[in-house]
Amino acid sequence: MEKANNIIESGGRGKAKIHSKKGRLEIRFSKQTFGKDKVMALRLADSPDNYPQAKSVLALINADISAGRFDFSLERYRPTLQAPVEAIVKSPLIIFVWEEFLKANRYRWKDSTWNYLKNTIKRWIPEQFCVNDAEVYRNWLLENTTVSMSKRVLTWVRAAVTWWSDLHSTSNFFSNIIKGLKHRWEESPSPRPFTDIEVECIFDNFNKSQYYSFYTGFVRFLLATGCRPSEAVGLRWSKVSHKSITFRADL
């Protein structure tokens, strides 16, 4: 993270910033917020290891400023004997964790998945919720979109929070967040596109075909497992046992 005039991180015009002074990190507020210069010490050394923690506090402050619920007493943000800064940074904004998760794991996803996460999923992650607001956030989703979409979003957000929790050894408030949520198709019986008679007709025609009888076993396998043709083609014997078949699913 580059320093410029001792500014470690800027929240933008009219927003708070992270400054470094005498080897310590602090939050500086704009005059638009207090009508005068105001500083809040973070009790953190100016070290790259502490930047994510400081950025998390900054994100919470600037989100509150944008939402019009800024705590001018600063009790919500600054460390105290009862609530040291570590207590704050262990519950960063969900959107902050999401952005960090995307940056750290970009290489894992295809472009289509990346665009889906960056646009569709992110659209359902507002700035006001912290990681420890898991249940409140879940309820907000259920009030504003479908159960199915809520489950999709929460599944990905849970992955992001789990990644963050493992990285920083913090509590995971999202571990059971999708419990009880079901997609519409999960509540319905498995679809049967063909009747038993139609299936036998398909097999019979493949068997009798001069050119395609070779594929009879392949078609039987597809219908029996419900897998995609690409998954069947990519299957290896090492993924097959007497009890199960493991298909590779690219993200």
Helix axis angle for 196-208 and 216-225, nearest 10°, is: 160
For residues 38 and 118, state if they share a domain: no
Q: Which residues of 21-47 are buried (b: 16+ CB within 10 A; e: fewer)?
A: eeeebbbbbbeebeeeeeeeebebebe
Report the DSSP pairing between strands 38-45 and 24-29: antiparallel
Please indicate, yes or no, whether residues 85 and 100 belong to a single structural domain of this protein.
no
Provide the residue range defining the domain that includes 26.
Answer: 7-89
Asked whether residue 210 is domain-assigned, the answer is yes
Q: Is residue 59 assigned to a domain?
A: yes
One domain, residues 33 and 78: yes
Same domain for 118 and 183: yes
> 249 lies in a domain?
no
User: What distance in Å separates the CA atoms of residue 34 and residue 30, rounded to the nearest whole number?
Assistant: 7
Domain count, the chain: 3
Show which of 89, 107, 123 is a domain's final residue: 89
For the entire predicted model, the pTM comes to 0.47
244 located within any domain = no
My answer on whether 84 and 136 are in the same domain is no
| Mean pLDDT of the residues in the chain | 82
Task: Say if residue 101 is in the same domain as residue 175.
Answer: yes
Residue 25 dihedral angles phi and psi, to the nearest 5°: -95, 145
Per residue in 37-72, pLDDT tens? 888 888 877 877 778 888 888 888 888 888 788 888
The neighbour count for residue 96, using CB atoms within 10 Å, is 21
Domain boundary among 146, 167, 187: 187
pLDDT tens profile 152-183 = 999 999 999 999 989 888 888 899 999 888 87
Looking at the chain, the whole-number percentage of residues with pLDDT higher than 90 is 27
In a domain, 54, yes or no: yes
